[in-house]
Structure 1
Amino acid sequence: MDLGISGKKAIVCASSEGLGRGCAIALAQAGCDVVINGRTQKNVESTATEIAETYGVTATPIAVDVSTAEGQAALLQACPNPDILINNNGGPPRRSFKELDREALIEGVVQNFVTPVELIQQVIDGMADRGFGRIVNITSASVVMPIEGLDLSSGARAGLTAFLAGVRPLYAARNVTINNVLPGKMDTKRLQGGIVGGAKARGISVEDAAQMQRDEIPAKRFGTAEEFGNTCAFLCSQHAGYITGQNLLIDGGLFPHAF
């Protein structure tokens, strides 16, 4: 399917690896010029070079912490008028809620709530003026299915979801959409790290620990960055202009619900 976004410009946060990288690749396949972001210069440059050479688009590497004002300014200097914004950022590490002090709480909220709001504030009016804008926030399945030890991540991302529910109706008539994509158990470094930790805690093999997690999922497998990215790219397409304010679970059926 032609997504109708060839030539559009996209900022994809935290896109040097993992799910963000999957989104950047899918948008590049659709013909978008992309800004690749991450904190490690080598990873960012490697991903940008690969994307540019493979898909013939402009891929600009920007190695910054997107949670800082300086980092955001660098992204917007590289792409002052983005048509597409993919908000993505690392979440707080797993820990008991009783271990979270004020500093940790503030850091988690800045990463997963304040940062995407700040970026949206800076780009959404330009999108509206040009008559096209697609904003996708990568949150987490824990927004609807809380995970023990990830309370801060869940709370900050749920807060972002509620906050933007009041923003998206203001821009829908100007062809600017805001949607959230909620990954479940995706085959990423973060998931693999959790599996290794769980295996050690239980005294079982890493493969047995991974299989236990796969068995919990109706699809009986982990999701891939490729399928996640393709879903994200569709939400950014010309065909998705009537889809806004949605929370799309990509979890292989893990969360049991009817509505």
Structure 2
Amino acid sequence: MDLGIAGRKAIVCASSRGLGKACAMALAEAGVEVVINGRDAKTVEATAAEIAKATGVKTHAVVADVATAEGQKALFAACPDPDILVNNNGGPPPRDFRELTREMILDGVVANMVVAIELTQKVIDKMAERRFGRIVNITSSSVKAPLAGLDLSSGARAGLTAFFAGVARTVADKNVTINSIQPGAFDTDRLKGILAGTATRTGKSVDEAAAARKATIPAKRFGTPEEFGAACAFLCSAQAGYITGQNLLIDGGTIPTAF
């Protein structure tokens, strides 16, 4: 399918690896000029070069922490007027909520809620003027089914979801959409880290921890980043203009809900 977004420009946050990288690759394959972002210069530059070589589109490597004003300024210096914004940021590590300090809580809320709001504030009016805009927030399936230990991540992302549920309706008539994707278990470095922690706590091997996790998923496997990127690209497509304020759960059927 031609997504109808060739020639558009996108900022994809935290896109040097994992699900963010998959989104950037899928958008580039659709002909979108993309900003690749991350905090490790070597990884960011390598990803930008990889995507440019694979797709032939122009990429911009921006080494920056999007939680800072300087980092956000660097993003918009590379792409002043994006047509597409994919908000993404790493979540805090699993931790018993009793161990959280106020500073940890505030940092988690900034990283997984405030940053996406700030970036959206900076792009939404110009998108509305051009009568095209696609904003996708990468959150987590834990927004729908919170997991103990990921309370800070779940809470901040649930707040972000509720925040944009109202905002999305205010710009729908301008062909600007805001949606979120709630990933379950995907084969990424973050999942590998979580499985390693599980293995340590339970005395099992990482392979055993992975097998136990897969057994809880009706699809009996982890999702691939490419599957996730394709879903993100569709939500950014010209054909998705009638989809807004929605939360797409992609978890292999793990959460048993009809709505």
Q: Provide TM-score, normalisation by structure 1.
A: 0.99
Q: Point out where structure 1 has 5 or more consecutive residues left out of the alignment.
A: none
**Distance in 2 between the 1:73 and 1:136 partners?**
20
1:51 aligns with 2:55: no
**Distance in 1 between the 2:54 and 2:209 partners?**
36
Residue of structure 2 in register with 1:2 after alignment = 2
1:42 aligns with 2:42: yes
Residue of structure 1 in register with 2:146 after alignment = 146
**C-alpha displacement of 1:246:** 0.5
Secondary structure, counterpart of 1:92 in structure 2: coil
Q: Point out where structure 2 has 5 or more consecutive residues left out of the alignment.
A: none
Secondary structure, counterpart of 1:35 in structure 2: strand
Please give the per-residue CA displacement for 1:71-97, whole angstroms capped at 9, x wherever unaligned: 001001100000000000011111111
**Distance in 2 between the 1:204 and 1:241 partners?**
47
**Distance in 1 between the 2:256 and 2:209 partners?**
22
Residue of structure 1 in register with 2:169 after alignment = 169
Pairs within 5 Å for 1:180-219: 180-219=180-219
**Distance in 2 between the 1:110 and 1:205 partners?**
34
1:249 aligns with 2:249: yes
**Distance in 2 between the 1:121 and 1:245 partners?**
16
**C-alpha displacement of 1:54:** 1.3
**Distance in 1 between the 2:200 and 2:56 partners?**
44
Query: What's the % identity of the aligned pairs?
Result: 65
Secondary structure, counterpart of 1:5 in structure 2: coil
Judge which range, 60-69 or 197-206, deviates more.
197-206
**C-alpha displacement of 1:120:** 0.1
Secondary structure, counterpart of 2:145 in structure 1: coil
**Distance in 2 between the 1:169 and 1:54 partners?**
36
Please give the per-residue CA displacement for 1:184-221, whole angstroms capped at 9, x wherever unaligned: 00101111111111112111221111000000000000
**Distance in 1 between the 2:9 and 2:64 partners?**
19
Residue of structure 1 in register with 2:11 after alignment = 11
Q: Provide TM-score, normalisation by structure 2.
A: 0.99
**Distance in 2 between the 1:32 and 1:63 partners?**
20
Residue of structure 1 in register with 2:220 after alignment = 220
**Distance in 2 between the 1:257 and 1:168 partners?**
24
State the one-letter code of the partner of 1:145: A
**C-alpha displacement of 1:17:** 0.2
**C-alpha displacement of 1:235:** 0.2
**Distance in 1 between the 2:83 and 2:209 partners?**
42
Pairs within 5 Å for 1:224-239: 224-239=224-239
1:87 aligns with 2:81: no
Residue of structure 2 in register with 1:25 after alignment = 25
State the one-letter code of the partner of 2:112: N
Give runs of ≥4 in structure 1 deviating > 6 Å: none
**Distance in 2 between the 1:164 and 1:199 partners?**
37
Q: Note the aligned Cα RMSD (angstroms).
A: 0.6
Please give the per-residue CA displacement for 1:44-86, whole angstroms capped at 9, x wherever unaligned: 0000011111111110000000110100010011000000000
Secondary structure, counterpart of 1:167 in structure 2: helix
**Distance in 2 between the 1:258 and 1:90 partners?**
28
Residue of structure 1 in register with 2:62 after alignment = 62
Judge which range, 200-209 or 239-248, deviates more.
200-209
Secondary structure, counterpart of 2:219 in structure 1: coil
Secondary structure, counterpart of 2:182 in structure 1: strand
